[in-house]
Amino acid sequence: MSLAKKIESTISEEEYLEGEKISDVKHEYIDGHVYAMAGASTKHNSICMNISNSFFNGLKKRQSPCRVFSSDMKVKISDLLKSFFYPDVMVVCDIDNEESYYQHSPRIIVEVLSQSTRKYDLTTKKRHYFNIITLEEYVVIEQDICRIEVFKRSDQWHPTSYFLGDEIHFQSIDITLSVEDIYYQVTNNDMVKFLAQENMI
C-alpha cells in the first residue's frame, strides 16, 4: 500500500481507532497525524500473497500458534510513540485478543517497496518498527527488481540482501523460502531474464 496524503487536523489515538472501524479508506497514524493510504499494484499484491501464503503454509505444517496477518491488520508501535501502521504482511505469535483491531507484538514484518513508498518504508516506518521490542526481522521487498533485504535484530539491526537463486531463512519463524517463489507470477526484467536462463519461458 502507498501513502496518499496527510489529513491536516490532529486527532487522538481513540478517535483514530474508532474512525478506522467505519472508514472506507485505510489510514496510518503517526503522533496524532492521520495519513490516507492508496491502493496497491498487481505486482505488489502478488508478492504480498506469495509470501503470506508461504508463511501460512509453513506455520500450519508445523502446527505453530503464530498467525499471519495481511495489510488489513494494524500494528501499534508502542504506548510511548502512539503510532499505527498497516504492514503488508506480519507474523504475530502472541495474539492480543480475538476482537482486537490491531496487534503490538509482531515477530516479523514485511513491506513491499514501490516508487511512492520507498522512502517512507525505509525511513519513517523502519525507524518506528525497530522500536517494537518483539520484532526480530524486518523484510523489505522490491517489486520492480528482484531484490530482498532482511534486517535482523542483534546488538544492532544488520541487513542482508538476497537475489534470484538465493534462499532466505526467516529465523524468527523458522521458514525458508526461495527468492523466485516470493516473486512467483511477478513480471519484471529480473524475473524474465531468470526464467529464460532456466528455460522456463
Q: Which fold has domain 40-197?
A: tt1808, chain A (3.90.1570)
**Long-range CB contacts for residues 4-7, cutoff 8 Å, separation at least 24:** 4/35, 4/36, 4/37, 4/38, 5/35, 5/36, 6/33, 6/34, 6/35, 6/36, 7/33, 7/34, 7/35, 7/36
**Maximum CA pair distance of the chain?**
56
**CA–CA separation, 18 vs 146, rounded Å?**
39
How does residue 78 score in pLDDT terms, banded at 50, 70 and 90?
confident
Question: In the beta sheet, which residues pair with residue 111?
Answer: 140
pLDDT of residue 2: 47
* Predicted confidence (pLDDT) at residue 193 exceeds the cutoff of 80: no
Q: Are strands 83-85 and 74-76 parallel, antiparallel or unpaired?
A: antiparallel
pLDDT tens-digit map of 12-35:
999 999 999 999 999 999 988 999
* Predicted confidence (pLDDT) at residue 1 exceeds the cutoff of 70: no
Q: Is the pTM of this model over 0.95?
A: no
Q: Are 87 and 111 in contact (CB under 8 A)?
A: yes
User: Which of 48-52, 62-66, 115-119, 121-125 is least confident?
Assistant: 115-119
pLDDT of residue 97: 73
pLDDT tens-digit map of 151-176:
999 878 989 999 999 999 999 999 99
Average pLDDT, stretch 55-69?
96
Cα–Cα distances (Å) from 101 to 127, 168, 181, 196, in that order, read: 23, 30, 30, 44
Mean pLDDT of the chain: 89
**CA–CA separation, 40 vs 112, rounded Å?**
10
Contacts of 53 (CB under 8 A, 6+ apart): none
